[in-house]
Amino acid sequence: MPRYALKIEYEGGPFNGWQRQAEGQTTVQGAIESALARLEPGPHTIAAAGRTDAGVHGLGQVAHCDLVKAWDPFRLAGAINAHLRPLPVSVTDCALVEDTFHARFSALERRYLFRLITRRAPVTHDRGLVWQVGHPLDIVAMREGATHLIGLHDFTTFRSTMCQSASPVKTLDEIVITELPYPEGKEYHFTLRARSFLHNQVRSIIGTLERVGATNWPPNRVAKALAAKDRAACGPVCPPQGLYLAGVGYPADPFS
């Protein structure tokens, strides 16, 4: 059976997360599997690089599927997209890959983007796509706080109590914080890169760094929170709507 890698983009708002759930729950995985069933009747199961929660978006999610028919990848992407309408999800690229390729287990890194807007007036065009706060943020302080999280650490403080990972020890390779102009305010991009992440790790980190940027926390309190290995030491978990799975890295880019 030929195997295909799919690059997927979606707005998370209308979905109850990525993972297929009970009947009646709209999920990204369920929508794509239903579209595949329209092309080849029968059950389909796709595997993804990462499971995103309800409200979280995808810019470069990667999944793979096995089909009976040999499809031209360009035509397969178009056929899937035709059956996904009008849901806000689309296959932006498709490639025939080796049977050994696995969207999750072959991945070397995941990249997340978080968008945070500071301004008093409610956002309109980006509603549901960003986290908005009404106070200014100190980017220098946030960058200083973020340095304490880079490297190999026990991230118990920054993971959900519902996390199913066998270990809280992860290596966070990079946190980049950039400031951009935004109408009547500012936009902050937080880009995080690691081989894998714990459940709610990114949202816990961003919520904590926002407290630093708001000057409610000194930057060194991030180090103390990390060392505590206690969920109670974490800052507030930020809402999901500003979070995007931005990309997935593999030994060789399947879409190149």
Is position 253 within any domain? no
pLDDT tens, residue by residue, 27-45: 999 999 999 999 999 899 9
pTM of the model: 0.96
Rounded mean pLDDT of 149-172? 95
pLDDT tens, residue by residue, 178-208: 999 999 999 999 999 999 999 999 999 999 9
Is position 252 within any domain? no
Provide φ and ψ at 217, rounded to 5°: -120, 140
Residues 114 and 100 placed together within one structural domain of the fold? no
Q: Find, among 20, 4, 230, the residue nearest to 98 by Cα.
A: 4
Residues 8 and 116 placed together within one structural domain of the fold? no
Inter-residue contact 31 to 87 (CB < 8 Å): yes
Where among 77, 106, 135 does a domain terminate? 106
pLDDT at residue 22 in the model? 74
CB neighbourhood size of 160 (10 A): 17
Q: Tell me, what CATH number does 127's domain have?
A: 3.30.70.660
Residues 90 and 120 placed together within one structural domain of the fold? no
Q: Which residues are catalytic?
A: 53
Interatomic CA distance for residues 210 and 139, integer angstroms: 9
Residues 116 and 232 placed together within one structural domain of the fold? yes
Residue 24 pLDDT greater than 80, yes or no: no
Tally of domains in the chain: 2
Is position 254 within any domain? no
pLDDT at residue 2 in the model? 95
State what percent of residues in the chain have pLDDT above 90: 95
pLDDT at residue 41 in the model? 92
Q: Tell me, what CATH number does 89's domain have?
A: 3.30.70.580
Residues 124 and 88 placed together within one structural domain of the fold? no
Where among 106, 134, 155 does a domain terminate? 106
Is position 255 within any domain? no
Is position 256 within any domain? no
Preceding amide of 86 cis, omega within 30:
yes
Residues 137 and 75 placed together within one structural domain of the fold? no
Work out the pLDDT band at 1, boundaries 50, 70, 90.
Answer: confident
Residues 186 and 142 placed together within one structural domain of the fold? yes
Range of the domain at 190: 109-247
